């Protein structure tokens, strides 16, 4: 009976609980034993009760819960070989040699590295006398499958990450609320949204709420963006608009990579356009809360696919990441997916904005 563990790692995202539920239940339905690792990689290092067997009813009602009920953490110990050795030992103790990880690109890369290192970790467990050859014999290969949980929608090769549509929905609701008060006072609002290096949330929030101007890391505004933005906002006002909404991605910058902050935008709108302007940073409200229907569905279908991928894997199969591509749940190479994503970040750093946008095509819908 295969033992499959599921873990959430990195920033939480709505839908992660749905993914854990699906992995647990599909594992049990396939005649295997399911485990949950609590508190991300820290739980692997700590072992004991942090790696718990999960029964069917343990995940009852989890589809509609926000955050991640099995916890997540940034784990320094796992960055060191000693920590990973302890983690391998803890997994072997529980009989686990397959791990499904729901997290962002950093967490997924760490998982694949762990898999690559696994045979040498197992050798070290034997040579150091922590385990016998007999004990480690059935655990010569570690199986890793990635699920992408992130509100940022920042993994190239998948159209949507688990959590991004819930977050977008929350942002739209918040902007709708702000719209009402902005309209009443004829005010301008500068809204900062999350997304680290990825402007998907900002762009789609702008499209979905009819914002006046949007600042994205991948596609910075023109050299004279100050005049451009003020002129567009001014024109909208002349046409009778009573409110102004400017969305700023948290990683927004100009073409020279100088940060564009919400306060800079506010000052321009106040001093150059003469608008009574406020700044609202939506913050972690965008990340918590329940998952929307799309994220519940995505998490469930992908969780099921992850278990199938585990059961079909051979030691030679490269670690897959479960994606959604043109509405189909598909497996892609985990390492390639992370690499393409990293290339976009490198293109932004090198000021190759056209290249960065091209690299995001799958997410922005061209």
Indicate which residues carry an active-site annotation: 152
Q: Choose the binding region for ligand F6P from 80-88, 188-196, 208-216, 226-234 (rule: CB under 6 A).
A: 188-196
Q: Is 11 in the site for ligand F6P (CB under 6 A)?
A: yes
Query: Nearest-CA neighbor of 152 among 214, 194, 105?
Result: 194
Helix or strand run (H / E) with residue 3: strand 3-8
Task: Please indicate if the annotation marks 195 as binding a ligand.
Answer: yes
The answer to whether residue 287 forms part of the interface with ligand F6P (CB under 6 A) is yes
What 3-state class would DSSP assign to 352? coil
Q: Distance between CA 184 and CA 230 in Å, rounded?
A: 21
Q: Which residue is nearest to ligand F6P (CB)?
A: 11
Structural tokens at position 141: 């290969």
Query: Shortest approach of ligand F6P to residue 29 CB, angstroms?
Result: 31
Least Å from the CB of residue 323 to ligand F6P: 18
Q: Rank residues 3 and 197 by Cβ distance to ligand F6P and give the closer one.
A: 197
**Are the CB atoms for 159 and 298 separated by under 8 Å?**
no
Euclidean distance between CA atoms 131 and 148, whole angstroms: 33
If binding is defined by CB under 6 A, does position 150 make contact with ligand F6P? yes
* CB closer to ligand F6P out of 11 and 221: 11
The residues facing 280 across adjacent strands are: 191
# chain residues binding ligand F6P, by CB under 6 A: 9
Does residue 191 touch ligand F6P according to CB under 6 A?
Answer: no
Q: Is 103 in the site for ligand F6P (CB under 6 A)?
A: no
Please indicate if the annotation marks 210 as binding a ligand. no
DSSP code at position 154: -
> Binding of ligand F6P at residue 195 (CB under 6 A)?
yes
Long-range contacts of 45-48 (CB under 8 A, 24+ apart): 45/75, 45/77, 45/78, 45/83, 45/86, 45/87, 45/90, 46/90, 47/86, 47/87, 47/89, 47/90, 47/93, 47/94, 48/90
Q: Does 152 engage in binding with ligand F6P (CB under 6 A)?
A: yes
Rounded to a whole number of angstroms, the minimum distance from the CB of residue 196 to ligand F6P is 4
Binding site for ligand F6P (CB under 6 A): 11, 150-152, 194-196, 250, 287
């Amino acid at each position: 009976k295969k033992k499959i563990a599921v873990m959430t790692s990195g920033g939480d995202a709505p839908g992660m609980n749905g993914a854990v539920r699906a992995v647990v239940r599909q594992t049990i339905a396939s005649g295997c034993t399911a485990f949950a690792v609590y508190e991300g990689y820290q739980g692997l290092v700590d072992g004991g009760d942090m790696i718990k067997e999960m029964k069917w009813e343990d995940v009852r009602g989890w589809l509609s819960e926000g955050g991640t009920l099995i916890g997540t953490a940034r784990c320094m110990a796992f960055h060191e070989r000693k920590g990973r050795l302890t983690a391998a030992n803890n997994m072997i103790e529980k009989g686990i040699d397959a791990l499904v990880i729901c997290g962002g690109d950093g967490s997924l890369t760490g998982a694949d590295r762990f898999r690559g290192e696994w045979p040498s970790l197992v050798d070290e467990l034997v040579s150091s006398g922590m385990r016998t050859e007999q004990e480690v014999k059935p655990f010569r290969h570690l199986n890793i499958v990635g699920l992408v949980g992130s509100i940022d929608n920042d993994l190239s090769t998948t159209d949507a990450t688990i959590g991004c549509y819930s977050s977008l929905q929350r942002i739209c609701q918040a902007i709708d609320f702000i719209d009402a008060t902005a309209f009443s006072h004829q005010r301008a609002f500068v809204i900062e949204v999350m997304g680290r290096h990825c402007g998907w949330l900002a762009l789609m929030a702008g499209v979905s709420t009819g914002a006046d101007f949007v600042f994205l890391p991948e596609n910075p505004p023109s050299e004279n963006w100050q005049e451009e933005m003020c002129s567009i906002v001014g024109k909208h006002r002349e046409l009778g608009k009573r409110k102004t909404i400017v969305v700023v991605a948290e990683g927004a910058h100009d073409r020279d990579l100088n940060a564009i902050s919400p306060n800079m935008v506010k000052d321009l709108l106040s001093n150059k356009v003469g608008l009574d302007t406020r700044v609202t940073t939506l913050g972690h409200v965008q990340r918590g809360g329940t998952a929307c229907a799309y994220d519940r569905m995505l998490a469930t279908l992908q969780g099921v696919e992850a278990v199938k991928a585990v059961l079909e894997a051979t030691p030679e199969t490269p670690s897959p990441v479960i994606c959604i591509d043109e509405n189909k749940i598909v497996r892609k190479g985990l390492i390639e997916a992370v690499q393409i994503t990293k290339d976009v970040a490198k293109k932004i750093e090198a000021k190759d904005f056209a290249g960065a946008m091209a690299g995001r095509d799958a997410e922005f819908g061209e």
